């Protein structure tokens, strides 16, 4: 008999949440109890373990060399540079220990984690790209995270096969772009969102196959459009040539674009080819629920940033090619894995592992490489491993630890260092009130050489010595802005690489530091939450005939937002 949906109270935020019948089936399949945290609190708990772009200078605890790391110098555990950590010189098995059935699992695991060296960061095969993290095969990149096969890209994340981009989020096979979100195969574009196959497009969204367009929304294979009006080649060229690309013009253009955007219907989700699925930024999904920024998923729920052949999983964040896994974060190829974080290459039939490479049949291990049948970094025979594993699971059931993710209070990062601050921003007071930790950054006493008010108005006004200036971040100009931008570095430099891009694209210098620009960019993307709504279409010529469309859906557009939200059929009838 199929279990009915149940309403539970989250032990963390005290709000209510629903456990669906399919969820119960999954939990029974992997033999874990139903969750005690709501989906959002479970997600935040995993995000607390992800510090992608807060990088620190510190010493390697084995070589004494100066290195770049995601861990501060006051971290309570050793940190090794990645070349040494990955080499044969380091073996985490040296820290192996017995399990004590008189004590809770998490307490013992934390003691193990505190002594095993951590890898400083991960940026394999990336020449001249030491300030990159969770990335690989990049060249001449700076402050780029969760990205692969890029060259000359800066201040971005989730980029794949891109060339010369700055301040971009979610970009694929694109070049010479600035301040864009969710683009594919675009060139010479700036301030564009959810666009593909576009060239020379500015301040636009939801455009495909467009060239030479400005301030447009929902266009397909168009050219010489200005604020969604076809003005022809001659007039378009004339208007573009008259533009003085300064910050005043950019701010005015953003306002005009917003008016166009809110006047044209938007589809209730971003993406395509979804079947029986809910979430946002989805592609090729089937029976996928509460998923965000996911591609090629089937029979999954409560997952984020999951790519390529994800099947039969729950509560996974930033994974690829996963099967039958639960409460996993930052893991490549998890197969039948229960609770794991920051593991690389394939990890199979394992539980409660962290920073392990190519492991299988391991339980409660940290930092292992190519190992099997290990518990707490200690080697066992297959028979002894299986017996001890079941005993520990039964012990964890009694202590109510089995099936729970690593506790937030032992995360190696403070709330405002982690990705939780990006997706669920909190003030210091609210974060501490919720029981999270907060990192008080040392006071900065930069000797400002150029104030925001004195920044060159246009790219033509820039002098070559601009790269030597220490520029004040505009977020420091008022107390309100200072409170809003809690990650502000207060000042910033312009690198020669980004200056080259600004000149090529004829755009002015930014007036905010990278963390503040990143925060602004994240606010332009829909939140990772869903609201139940009804299609707003009342067009008589659509499939629903006379009267308002009655189609209901789950959407990341909150009811109080200004956009006109349509179901997919009404949207297609209006846009295509």
pLDDT of residue 1: 54
Tokens 């044969």 sit at which residue?
88
Distances 551 to 289, 532, 571 between C-alpha atoms, Å: 18, 11, 12
Q: Which of residues 483, 507, 523 is at a domain's end?
A: 523
Domain finish residue from 244, 267, 290:
267
**461 and 349 assigned to the same domain:** no
pLDDT at 472: 95
Q: Is residue 133 part of a domain?
A: no
Count the domains in the chain: 5
The reply to whether 193 and 256 lie within a common domain is yes
Question: Which segments of 476-528 does DSSP mark as H helices, in order?
Answer: 479-484, 496-505, 514-523
Within a domain: 422: no
Cα separation values, 255 from 251, 288, 311, 561, Å: 6, 36, 42, 16
Q: Is residue 273 part of a domain?
A: no
| Beta partners for residue 537, in sequence order | none
Residue 459: exposed, middle, or buried by beta-carbon count in 10 A (0-12, 13-18, 19+)? middle
Reported for 497-502, long-range contacts at CB under 8 A and 24+ positions apart, including other chains, are 497/140, 497/142, 497/152, 497/154, 498/154, 498/155, 498/166, 499/462, 499/466, 499/467, 501/154, 501/164, 501/166, 501/176, 501/178, 502/178, 502/459, 502/462
Segment (H or E) for 7: strand 6-9
| Residues 333, 367 within the same domain | yes
Block residue for tokens 């992800």: 50
Same domain, 89 and 165: no
The answer to whether residue 335 sits within a structural domain is yes
Residues 175 and 110 in one domain: no
Q: Are residues 448 and 391 in the same domain?
A: no
Domain that holds residue 507: 441-523
User: Collapsing DSSP states into helix, strand and coil, what is residue 92?
Assistant: helix
Whether 272 is covered by a domain: the verdict is no
Domain identity same for 207 and 234? yes
Within-domain flag for 497:
yes
- As separate numbers, helices (DSSP H) first and strands (DSSP E) second, the chain gives 13, 33
At 547 the pLDDT is 87
Could you tell me which residues are beta bridge partners of residue 341? 329, 354
Half-sphere CA count of 257, side-chain side, radius 13 A: 23
- The pLDDT value recorded for residue 487 is 85
Are residues 103 and 158 both part of a single domain?
Answer: no
Q: Can you list the residues of the chain whose pLDDT is less than 50?
A: none
452, 458, 460, 465: CA torsion to nearest 10: 10
Would you say 123 and 60 are in contact if contact means Cβ atoms under 8 Å apart? Answer: no
Whether residue 518 is found in the same domain as residue 539:
no
pLDDT single digits (tens) 101-154 = 999 999 999 999 999 999 999 999 999 999 999 999 999 999 999 999 999 999
**132 in any annotated domain:** no
Residues 185 and 229 in one domain: yes
What's the rounded Cα separation, in Å, for the pair 243 and 461? 15
Exposure class string for 131-159: b at 16+ Cβ within 10 A, else e: bbbbbbbbeebbbbbbbbbbbbbbbbbbb
Q: Are residues 459 and 348 in the same domain?
A: no
d(C-alpha 271, C-alpha 281), whole Å? 5
pTM value > 0.85? yes
Number of other residues whose CB lies within 10 A of the CB of residue 378: 17
Q: Specify the pLDDT at position 574.
A: 83
Q: Answer yes or no: is 254 within a domain.
A: yes
> Cα–Cα distance between 53 and 74 in angstroms, integer?
18
pLDDT reported for residue 576: 59
CA atoms within 13 A on the CB side of 323: 5
216 CB-near residues (< 8 Å, 6+ apart):
201, 204, 207, 210, 222, 225, 226, 227, 228, 260
Residue 385 confidence (pLDDT): 98
Confirm if 57 and 74 have CB atoms less than 8 A apart: no
| Distances 397 to 42, 45, 400 between C-alpha atoms, Å | 19, 20, 5
Same domain flag for 142 and 203: yes
């Amino acid at each position: 008999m199929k279990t009915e949906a149940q309403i539970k109270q989250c032990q963390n935020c005290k709000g209510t949440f629903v456990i669906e019948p399919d969820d119960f089936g999954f939990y029974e399949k992997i033999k874990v109890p139903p969750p005690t945290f709501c989906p959002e609190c479970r997600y935040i708990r995993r995000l607390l373990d992800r510090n992608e772009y807060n990088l620190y200078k510190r010493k390697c605890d084995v070589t004494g060399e100066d290195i770049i790391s995601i861990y501060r110098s006051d971290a309570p555990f050793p940190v090794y540079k990645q070349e040494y950590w990955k080499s044969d010189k380091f073996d985490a098995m040296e820290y192996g220990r017995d399990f004590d059935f008189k004590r809770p699992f998490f307490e013992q695991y934390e003691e193990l984690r505190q002594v095993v060296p951590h890898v400083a960061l991960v940026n394999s095969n990336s020449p001249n790209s030491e300030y990159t993290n969770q990335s690989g095969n990049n060249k001449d990149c700076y402050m780029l995270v969760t990205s692969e096969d890029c060259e000359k890209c800066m201040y971005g994340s989730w980029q794949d096969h891109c060339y010369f981009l700055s301040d971009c989020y979610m970009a694929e096979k694109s070049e010479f772009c600035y301040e864009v979100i969710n683009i594919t195969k675009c060139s010479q574009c700036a301030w564009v969102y959810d666009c593909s196959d576009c060239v020379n497009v500015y301040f636009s969204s939801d455009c495909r196959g467009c060239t030479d367009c400005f301030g447009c929304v929902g266009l397909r294979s168009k050219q010489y459009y200005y604020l969604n009006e076809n003005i022809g080649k001659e007039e378009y060229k004339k208007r573009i040539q008259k533009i003085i690309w300064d910050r005043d013009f950019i701010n005015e253009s953003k306002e005009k674009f917003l008016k166009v955007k809110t006047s044209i219907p938007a589809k209730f989700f971003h993406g395509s080819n979804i079947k029986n699925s809910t979430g946002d930024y989805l592609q090729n999904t089937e029976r996928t629920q509460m998923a965000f920024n996911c591609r090629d998923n089937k029979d999954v729920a409560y997952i984020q940033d999951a790519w390529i052949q994800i099947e039969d999983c729950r509560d996974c964040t930033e994974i690829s090619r996963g099967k039958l896994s639960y409460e996993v974060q930052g893991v490549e190829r998890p197969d039948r894995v229960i609770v794991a974080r920051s593991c690389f290459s394939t990890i199979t039939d394992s539980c409660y592992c962290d920073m392990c490479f190519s492991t299988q049949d391991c339980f409660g291990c940290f930092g292992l490489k190519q190992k099997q049948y290990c518990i707490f970094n200690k080697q066992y025979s297959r028979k002894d491993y299986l017996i001890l594993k079941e005993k520990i699971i039964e012990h964890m059931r009694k202590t109510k630890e089995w099936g729970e993710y690593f506790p937030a209070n032992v995360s190696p990062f403070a709330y405002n260092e982690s990705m939780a601050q990006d997706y669920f921003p909190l003030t210091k007071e609210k974060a501490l009130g919720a029981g999270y930790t907060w990192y008080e950054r040392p006071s900065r006493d930069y000797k400002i050489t150029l104030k925001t008010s004195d920044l060159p108005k246009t790219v033509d006004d820039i002098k070559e010595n601009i790269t030597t200036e220490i520029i004040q971040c505009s977020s420091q100009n008022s107390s309100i802005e200072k409170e809003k931008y809690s990650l502000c570095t207060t000042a910033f430099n312009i690198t020669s690489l980004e200056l080259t891009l600004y000149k090529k694209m004829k755009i002015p210098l930014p007036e905010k530091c990278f963390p503040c620009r990143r925060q602004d960019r994240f606010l332009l993307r829909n939140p990772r939450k869903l609201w139940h709504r009804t299609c707003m279409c009342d067009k008589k010529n659509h499939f629903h005939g006379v009267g308002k469309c009655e189609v209901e859906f789950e959407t990341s557009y909150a009811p109080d937002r200004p956009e006109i939200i349509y179901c997919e059929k009404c949207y297609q009838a209006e846009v295509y």
